[in-house]
């Protein structure tokens, strides 16, 4: 019985440490997803952008509560410049500021917003665009 209890506790601890953190996604990987007509929430940010830094915890909270939302964060100042340029030219109009959030459904751009969202705003957009249901 003790072994079973220890096993269950370890399992719960490990599950609690599941990695739903926001990681930077290479621009080339984002392009590949969009070419394959996949749905994605693409966020352009920079490591030196204060608003981007403030926005990341909001994105992480969404991933924690909705792990199936396909959020892809591109850190433009740390990625391959030609890959970023190619992604912007092919898929991302108005990529003139950071952060900027693009919403793609089946590879088609269905909307974008400049600036950082609060959690409630982002959740409302995700519901509106069909990524999550309330």
Domain 19-128 has CATH 2.60.40.10: no
What Å distances lie between residue 88 and 9, 66, 91, 100, 123, CA to CA? 47, 27, 6, 12, 25
Neighbour-count burial of 2, counting CB atoms closer than 10 A to its CB (0-12 exposed, 13-18 middle, 19+ buried): exposed
Cβ-based neighbours of 2, under 8 Å, separated by 6 or more: none
Separate counts of helices (H) and strands (E) for the chain = 5, 4
pTM for this entry? 0.81
Instruction: Spell out the domain ranges in the chain.
Output: 19-128
Does pLDDT of 23 surpass 80? yes
pLDDT in tens, 46-89: 999 999 999 999 999 999 999 999 999 999 999 999 999 999 99
Q: How confident is the model at residue 1 (pLDDT cuts 50, 70, 90)?
A: low
CA distance 134 to 130: 10
Q: How confident is the model at residue 5 (pLDDT cuts 50, 70, 90)?
A: very low
Which residue matches tokens 């994605």? 40
């Amino acid at each position: 019985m003790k072994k079973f209890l220890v096993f269950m506790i370890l399992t719960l601890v490990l599950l609690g440490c599941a990695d739903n953190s926001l990681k930077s996604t290479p621009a080339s990987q984002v392009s590949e997803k969009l070419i394959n007509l996949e749905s994605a929430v693409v966020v352009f940010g920079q490591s030196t952008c204060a608003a981007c830094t403030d926005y990341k915890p909001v994105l992480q909270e969404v991933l924690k509560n909705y792990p199936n939302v396909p959020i892809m964060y591109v850190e433009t100042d740390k990625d391959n410049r030609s890959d970023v340029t190619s992604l912007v030219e092919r898929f991302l109009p108005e990529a003139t500021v950071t952060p900027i959030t693009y919403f793609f459904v089946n590879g088609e751009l269905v909307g974008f917003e400049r600036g950082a969202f609060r959690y409630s705003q982002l959740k409302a957009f995700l519901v509106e665009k069909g990524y999550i249901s309330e």
